[in-house]
Amino acid sequence: MKKGDFIKISLAFGVLLLLFACRKDIDFVIQGKEKPPSMQLESAKVWRHQRLDKMKPERLQLAPKWADAWTEQSTSGKSILIVPAREKRVQNKDLKIRRFFIFTTTDHSVSDGRIVEFVGMKYDVESNIRFLIRNFDRNSIAGFNGAIIQYDVNYRKPTNLVYKDGVKINAQMKIATYSGLELKELRDRHKAKIMATNASSGSCMPVYPQLVNFPPVIDECFYNYTEVWIYDADDCVIEHLYVYASHVCLGDDGDSGESSSSGSGSGSVDEGNPDYGEDPEPELPDNVPLRISFCDGLSASDRASIDSVAIVVSNLNCATKLINNRLNLELDLDLKVCIEDRVLQSGSYDPSTKIINFTTQWASTQSDLFRHELFHAYQDNVAYSNGIGGYGKTVAKPGFVNIEFEQAVFKDITEDPASPMALTHSSNTLLQDEYSNWIQSLTSNGTAYPNLSTPQARAEFDTNFLKYLTEFNASDPIYGNSDPIYGNNVIKADLKPEALKRIFNGLVKGGCGN
């Protein structure tokens, strides 16, 4: 090679290297973006850090890309600092989503900060992103079809504005991630609920939810989707849509993707890059009493004592509080309690009548027994789409022991994590100890609840659950195979512990009692 050629190649390489090193600055110059002063950036970092929920694992928090931040002036006159965040891949070509942290600033200090998602429905969000950002808090945005959803910095407490042809319309939108199984149930449950709501207004027509652009829904896969309710002037629901965004199934690659245009990703564990949509952790209102009704013939004092036990149980810990809230607030269930000597167990839950029955007044005052039966009510009404009435004690109707072991594991996780008891009667000492290790590991030695919010964690949980269930069935004198009454139990191998997975789906321990 000639000396001149070598110099030319070296120069070209040097120029390319320089361009690559300065690509962000060049991009900023071309786009006319203004870099924020470092003091303002630091102020935003501190502001966010002060407001982060310290109980929420950092890997589940959306991570800002501070190096890519720029400043804008919104059309409403606010100075705003825009910090891009990591994105997920959207697999539906009709749906575009981008998300940012938007901080409102005054001089160098920050007065407010939000996570803002821009959702385009057949609208090119990417090409219009700066236009959308400048108008993120306006009621009309020329030509925009979609929604702007704002959250606090912990990805909670969402508020949303939905637009059609640039104008805000009477509609709601949220983004969520659910398993295929949960999605099917949710759709069915909403179907009944929307019909009821509309019917109560007297003039609304029933509306059926529609899945839009979904691939075939598989129970075990996790779907990130946008749910839209559109109302008419009388607040009747006229359209209810589930618009597919993306999905991930067990065994898929957790492609985290950093492309700023479309982003990429999945529902798998991906630090600092949670799925679009509100953090699934439930907000737990304090001391919501369990709403129950009573069978005829119960005295006022019986009713009062059952009421007080119900309050104790629903506030035992964050998990029982969650159960209570879901049964009461989400499902609007009318749970009936009776004292009736018609069955010989001290307490029972009857899925066909939704009645918790105690055999004696004394039994009805036992909080442990009440908690046990309440968990079965949760399994029946929330966790299993067809209830638990079909799970019996024979080869023809297996599954009873699954339901009881799930209850026992719930008790160990919430009440006895340091010394779990479900396999106490096992003669297999090593397996019994392994079970204790499992519960302690799930609960970080009793300091936290299990986090079963990822497909991998759920799959592992299912496998271990089944392993210990087999030993439970072999050894438990009350619910296992050896019991003369409940004996001949048959495990239903494909019945997975859905109740536990729904409860411990990011639920934080602490602040709710024990």
Partner 1 sequence: MKVYTFTTLFCILSWVNAFGQIQLPAGKHEVNGNIFNVGYTDITVVVWNDKNIYPIPAPIGQFPPMAIRRGDMRVDTLQQQKIIKEIVKSRFKVLKEGNQWIRIKYIFNQSGEVMNVIFSFPHGALLTLTDVAEMDRRLRQELKATFRGVEYRSYQAIPYGYQYWFK
Distance of CA 134 to the CA centre of its chain: 31
Closer by beta carbon to partner 1, 30 or else 485: 485
Toward partner 1, which CB reaches closer, 212 or 363? 363
Distances (CA, A) of 3 to 6, 14, 285: 5, 16, 77
What is the rounded CA–CA span in Å between residue 272 and residue 241? 29
Nearest to 211 by CA among 166, 178, 168, 250: 178
Kindly state whether residue 483 participates in binding partner 1, applying the rule CB under 8 A.
yes
100 close to 85: Cβ distance less than 8 angstroms = yes
Is 320 one of the binding residues for partner 1 (CB under 8 A)?
no
Q: Which stretch binds partner 1 (CB under 8 A): 236-244, 262-270, 415-423, 459-467?
A: 415-423
> For partner 1, which is the closer residue by CB, 305 or 424?
424
Q: Strand, helix or coil at 207?
A: coil
Choice between 281 and 415, CB closer to partner 1: 415
The span of 136-144, 243-251, 264-272, 367-375 binding partner 1 (CB under 8 A) equals 367-375
Is 514 a residue that touches partner 1 (CB under 8 A)? no
Three-state SS for 349-393 is EECCCCEEEECCHHHHCCHHHHHHHHHHHHHHHHHCCCCCCCCCC
Nearer to partner 1, 42 or 416 (CB): 416
Q: Select the residue interacting with partner 1 from 425, 457, 460, 508 (CB under 8 A).
A: 425
- Residue with Cβ nearer partner 1 (475 or 505): 475
What type of residue is 71? T
Instruction: By CB under 8 A, tell whether 75 contacts partner 1.
Output: no
Residue 312 engages partner 1 in binding (rule: CB under 8 A): no
CB 350, min distance to partner 1, A: 16
Determine how many CB atoms are found less than 10 A away from the CB of residue 175. 23
By CB under 8 A, is residue 126 in contact with partner 1? no
Token duo for residue 169 = 């319309």
CB of 480 to partner 1, least distance (A): 10
Interface residue with partner 1 among 434, 459, 470, 506 (CB under 8 A) is 434
Report whether 322 contacts 328 (CB < 8 A): no
Q: How far is the CB of 277 from partner 1 (least distance, A)?
A: 37
Cα–Cα distance between 243 and 461 in angstroms, integer?
A: 30
What's the length of the chain?
514
Query: Nearer Cβ to partner 1, position 395 or 430?
Result: 430
Specify the residue, 195 or 363, whose C-beta has the smaller distance to partner 1. 363
Sheet (strand 210-212) strand order: 171-179, 222-231, 237-248, 210-212
For 35-68, the three-class secondary structure string (H helix, E strand, C coil) is CCCHHHHHHHHHHHHHHCCCCCCHHHCCCECHHH
> How far apart are CB 343 and partner 1 at their closest, in Å?
9
Cα atoms in the Cβ-side hemisphere of radius 13 Å centred on 418? 1
The radius of gyration computed from the CA coordinates of the chain, to the nearest angstrom, equals 27
| Alpha-carbon separation of residue 36 from 33, 66, 79, 132, 272 (angstroms) | 9, 10, 11, 19, 23
Question: How many helices and strands in the chain, by DSSP H and E?
Answer: 13, 15
Smallest separation (angstroms) from partner 1 to the CB of 432: 7
Task: Look at phi and psi of residue 146 and say left if phi exceeds 0, alpha if psi is from -120 to 50, else beta.
Answer: left
Q: Which of 74, 345, 385, 470 binds partner 1 (CB under 8 A)?
A: 345
In this chain, which of 104, 213, 260, 366 binds partner 1, going by CB under 8 A?
366
Q: Specify whether the CB–CB gap between 117 and 97 falls below 8 A.
A: yes
Q: 200 vs 429, which CB is nearer to partner 1?
A: 429
How many residues line the site for partner 1 (CB under 8 A)? Answer: 33
Q: Is 460 in the site for partner 1 (CB under 8 A)?
A: no
Task: Tell me how far apart the alpha carbons of residues 93 and 78 are, in angstroms, rounded to a whole number.
Answer: 33
Among 111, 478, 493, 511, binds partner 1 (CB under 8 A): 478
Which segments within 188-251 are labelled E, that is strand?
A: 210-212, 222-231, 237-248
Using CB under 8 A, pick the residue from 433, 447, 463, 493 that binds partner 1. 433
Contact flags string 43-62 toward partner 1, x per CB under 8 A: --------------------
Using CB under 8 A as the binding rule, whether residue 342 contacts partner 1 is answered as no
**Which among 193-201, 217-225, 434-442, 447-455 is the span making contact with partner 1, rule CB under 8 A?**
434-442
The token duo for 57 is 């694992």
10 versus 437: smaller Cβ distance to partner 1: 437
Kindly state whether residue 477 participates in binding partner 1, applying the rule CB under 8 A.
yes
Residues with Cβ within 8 Å of residue 184, at least 6 apart in sequence: 217, 219, 385
Is 236 a binding residue for partner 1 by CB under 8 A? The answer is: no
Q: Binder to partner 1 among 432, 443, 454, 473 (CB under 8 A)?
A: 432
Specify the residue, 94 or 433, whose C-beta has the smaller distance to partner 1.
433
Stretch 374-413: interaction string toward partner 1, x if CB under 8 A? ----------------------------------------
Interface positions with partner 1 (CB under 8 A): 344-346, 363, 366-369, 372, 416, 418-421, 424-425, 427, 429-430, 432-434, 436-437, 475, 477-479, 482-486
